[in-house]
Chain A
Amino acid sequence: MLTSSRTQLLASGGMIIMLSVIAVFVATWFGPATERMLTVFFISLTAVVGIGVYSGNSGILSFGHVAFMGVGAYASSLLTVPAALKGATLPGLPTWLADVELTLIPATLIAMVFTAVVALAVGAAISKLEGSAATIATLGLLIIVHGVIIGWRDVTRGAQSFFGVPRVTDLVTAAAFCVVALLLARLYRDSVSGLRLRAGRENAIAAGAVGVRIRWERLISFVLAAAIMALAGAMMAHFLGAFSPKKFYFNDTFLLLAMLIVGGMSTVTGAITGAVVITLVTEILRRLESGFSIGVFDVPPIFGTAQIGIGLIILLAMFRKVDGLAGLKEWEERVLPGSTLIAQVAPPSVGAQDVLSGEGLTMQFGGLTAVDDVSIQILPGQIVGLIGPNGSGKTTLLNMLSGILTPTQGQILLGGRDLTGLSSPKIADQGIARTFQNIRLFTNLTVYQNVLVAALSTHRGKDAVARAQTALDWLDVMKHVAADAGTLSYGDQRRVEIARALACQPQVLFLDEPAAGMNREETDALMEILRRLSADLGISVLLVDHDLELINQLSDQIMVLNEGRMIAQGTPQEIRRNKAVIEAYLGTGRENTN
């Protein structure tokens, strides 16, 4: 399923095909030298977009995907090299492989599947790592695969040149394959998986809390990216005819990454822009490299001009345009309107039927006990206020109940189902949604995407669009749907966050300081919305806030935490008169004796 408007995708696809066709015609008109250059460009672009599928959407830079290009090149070549030649150059090859002789397309497809399987195993390991650690692990992957290719002489001829590959990649083939890769990458970006992955890139914790299993989505994109790299590798092998392991090592990795980063890694537009810019600059500088003369001055040949040029372009891009030349949006997302909303469909409203209870919850961080033996119960449709001084453990309690922290001791039950120790995506799917004290929106996604991704990732994405729209309607943020979430005012961001949680169709909603930073009018409006959520939809709410007026007016029950312990529990009237609460908030005071 795709998450963006059909108009945008069609425009993007049309443009990709049109540009490729024009490029092919122009190159044919210029002659064989240009044709060769453009063929290499198409192959490079395929690889760039392949790396982009993983790195762009997940935000984790990968040095390792060029290794998959190598795997694809060797795997496809082993299938297409004439059997007679294989017998001579690779005498150690197992017979079943030695006798095979396929044409380019089946060989490429098999190579892609093989590479995807390898990537699945590798990706399962790498998806456990985060951020920079994952990046360095991909660097390790590049070295390992290079080492294996060199060592596995019977199959790869080791460090020597692997030759005799039929040179069947012509300009049109390369262009066609490249278009396929570009379209795949573009569609993946706006597929459900791609959207989830981008949400995870923007904010991993929030993505988990709305039901996104980030590791799984990363693995999907890792494997898809590897398959596209294998396609590029197969094309490269059948273009060059002969290659060695060095071809798929650091030099090409750096060149391809430079294209991706200069253009902008999170979009297909960026990949194309970067590939064009770097290819042009490289071609121009290569000409200068051999030395030239301006009038009377003879500029001596400087070895590596192209490399220095690329280096400087990267520095310039990093200093001036961190997100690359194309930025974070596809061109068509800037030009064409986004998703048009469909007619209102009332989503099935479940409301709460189950009691959420935490029993004897304790959280220790090293020697510090942040929450100490707290039990809490939220009845269906109730609004429970949770108050307490700063550092009393309110947010920690919320984090335990929403699966972000696993309690050191204690049990969490929802209608008798044990939720203790479940991951936050699973808890979200069980019907507990939340907002965060420091707003955690997916800042570079639109408001609509923010809410949609939550609806798509819970309850198997059933009626997702309708749920997303209803949630947006409820919080009165429909007018902002097309804006990037990060550009909204503080109060609107809070509302979008609540809408996002609501789109998960929760039984219980946790709100961590929803009124923080809102003025009185906004707070009153919010109060009205929350009251209706509980009254009309029957959703239970656990509300943390420092605004006691808000808490007092809304809550059916109030719980008071102090230094990690529950010191009082009761109706607002009871709490107002409770001695322990007054002490915790105002201190014991001293009798004024003079």
Chain B
Amino acid sequence: MDLFVQQTVNALALGGTYALLALGLAVVFSIMGLINFAHGELMTISGYTLMYCGILGVPFAVSVPLAILAAVLAAVAMERIAFRPVRGGSGATMLITSFAVAMILQVLFQNLISARSQAVALPQILSQSVHLGNVIIGVNKIAAIAATVLMLIFLDRFMNRQKTGIAMRAAAEDFAVARLMGIRANTVIAGAFAISGLLAGVAAVLWVSQRASVDPLMGFTPVLKAFIAAILGGLGSLRGAVAGGFMLGFIEVYLAAFLPQEFQEFREPIGLGLVVLILLFRPNGMIPSRFLGLIKV
């Protein structure tokens, strides 16, 4: 039972990070149909900002917002430089563009910073843990869960109460009509990228706080998982992205904890196999976007 509680906390922490990343992908996808391969590089940029802040002796409380800000700025810059020229292109065109951006950034990190993994200075408290009965929970896990919850509440408020947020939802529903209603395309898309950068930045801080190191490919694996989470939840649906992120987190953590030893090697294929199984029954994901595939004939 204790083990179960323990693993559930782990699953929530990991799933929360996936959820934030998947949400960042979904915000952009729902508005411009781009699956952003370079989302992981936003994480990496955030991670390196944390690392440099640590080297310069900036207090952690300051370096976290700086790291998140770096991801936001990078996301907006990425949109302006690389994605605006292909706006309105096919899904494949935009996907490939983002993949080229990711590739270039990775090589730049390797050359300008280091190809090897770099240590990141973290405050002591993050590596401590709390005892609740027989359950030991790392402070970093608690921080991750808390940060995820805060971000989700913030985003929910933003999307439902703020003018820009409502405009973004309108644009996701029907971009052409939204523009006719006087919503500026550039503002909405830049806003979407800023939000996705914010989410990637927070996810990066959480990811780094579990591992205390950064490398040029840091963002690759988690974002790959976030892609899968976004599909699992329902591509283009924000609630779906969150649900898919948590679902994937639970599948991974529980399989790691409870799968018999002889199958552990196949953990990843089995996990993804489960995802495929869910998709076979729900091809549009767990919570499909209402607007995706709604075509006027």
Contact = CB atoms under 8 A, between A and B. Distances in A.
Given A257-B96, A318-B97, A304 B107 contact: yes
A433 B43 CA distance: 52
Given A137-B279, A150-B265, A315-B101, A132 B95 contact: yes
A438 B95 CA distance: 28
Contacts of B297: 205, 395, 399, 404, 436-438
Nearest to B96: A261
Contact of A315 (B97, B115, B276, B284): B97
Interface string A285-329: 000000000000000001110011011101100110010000000
A144 interface: yes
Contact of B266 (A143, A148, A254, A261): A148
Given A147-B268, A205-B295, A307-B106, 17 more contacts: A55-B92, A59-B92, A135-B92, A139-B224, A143-B268, A144-B273, A147-B272, A148-B269, A205-B297, A257-B99, A261-B96, A303-B110, A307-B104, A311-B107, A314-B100, A315-B82, A318-B93
B171 interface: no
A61 B231 contact: no
Interface string A28-63: 000000000000000000000000000100011100
B100 A315 contact: yes
5 contacts: A130-B283, A136-B230, A139-B228, A144-B268, A311-B103
Given A133-B235, A151-B266, A140 B293 contact: no
B269 A137 contact: no
Which of B86, B285, B297 is packed against the most chain A CB atoms within 10 Å? Answer: B297
The 7 closest A-B pairs by CB, nearest first: A304-B107, A151-B265, A314-B100, A147-B269, A311-B104, A147-B268, A151-B266
A162 to B, nearest CB: 16
Nearest to B264: A151
Given A128-B283, A148-B266, A311-B101, A140 B228 contact: yes
Q: Is the interface of B mostly helix, strand, loop or mixed?
A: helix
Nearest to B94: A318
A153 interface: yes
A108 to B, nearest CB: 26
Interface string B219-238: 00000100110110001000
Contacts of B20: none
Interface string B261-291: 0000111110011011001100111000000
B29 interface: yes
Interface string A109-134: 00000000000000001001111110
Counting chain B residues whose Cβ lies within 8 A of the other chain, the interface size class is: 35 or more
Nearest to A319: B85
A140 B272 contact: yes
A143 B265 contact: no
Given A144-B272, A303-B110, A125 B280 contact: yes
A135 B95 CA distance: 10
A395 B296 CA distance: 10
B95 A61 contact: yes
A130 B293 contact: yes
A308 B279 contact: no
Contacts of B285: 133
A151 B29 CA distance: 34
B101 A151 contact: no
Contact of A125 (B35, B230, B276): B276
A125 B295 CA distance: 23
B243 to A, nearest CB: 15
Contacts of B267: 147
A318 B100 contact: yes
Nearest to B85: A319
A132 B100 CA distance: 17
Interface residues on A, range: 35 or more
Contacts of B65: none
Interface of A: 55, 59-61, 125, 128-133, 135-137, 139-140, 143-145, 147-148, 150-151, 153, 158, 205, 254, 257-258, 261, 265, 302-304, 307-308, 310-312, 314-315, 318-319, 322, 395, 399, 404, 436-438
Interface string B89-126: 11111011101110110111011000100000000000
A445 B90 CA distance: 18
Given A308-B104, A315-B82, A136 B110 contact: no
Contacts of B95: 61, 132, 135
A393 to B, nearest CB: 13
A318 B93 CA distance: 6
Given A128-B283, A132-B91, A303-B111, A311 B272 contact: no
B33 interface: yes
Most chain A Cβ neighbours within 10 Å, of B104, B106, B284:
B104
A261 B224 CA distance: 21
Contact of A133 (B33, B108, B224, B284): B284
B231 A136 contact: yes
Contact of A143 (B35, B89, B224, B235): B224
A129 B285 CA distance: 10
A355 to B, nearest CB: 25
Given A132-B35, A133-B231, A322-B93, A310 B103 contact: yes
B266 to A, nearest CB: 4
Contacts of A145: 269
Nearest to A304: B107
Contacts of B29: 132
Given A144-B272, A147-B272, A304-B110, A132 B235 contact: yes
Contacts of B230: 136
A439 to B, nearest CB: 12
A437 B295 CA distance: 13
A261, A302, A303 — which one has the most chain B CB atoms within 10 A of its CB?
A261
A145 B231 CA distance: 19
A318 B293 contact: no
A476 B108 CA distance: 59
A304 B295 CA distance: 44
Interface string B60-103: 00000000000000000000001001100111110111011101
A153 B263 CA distance: 12
Given A136-B230, A151-B266, A254-B103, A314 B97 contact: yes
Nearest to B216: A304
Nearest to A59: B92
A148 B283 CA distance: 24
A307 B103 contact: yes
A319 B86 contact: yes
Contacts of B90: 59, 322
A255 B50 CA distance: 32
A133 B234 CA distance: 9
Contact of B89 (A304, A307, A318): A318
A111 B101 CA distance: 36
Contacts of A254: 99, 103
Nearest to B99: A254
Nearest to A306: B107
B107 A151 contact: no
B280 A128 contact: yes
Q: Choose among B224, B269, B293 the residue with the greatest number of A CB atoms under 10 Å from its CB.
A: B269
Interface in B145-163: none
B188 to A, nearest CB: 20
A148 to B, nearest CB: 5
A307 B231 contact: no
A544 to B, nearest CB: 12
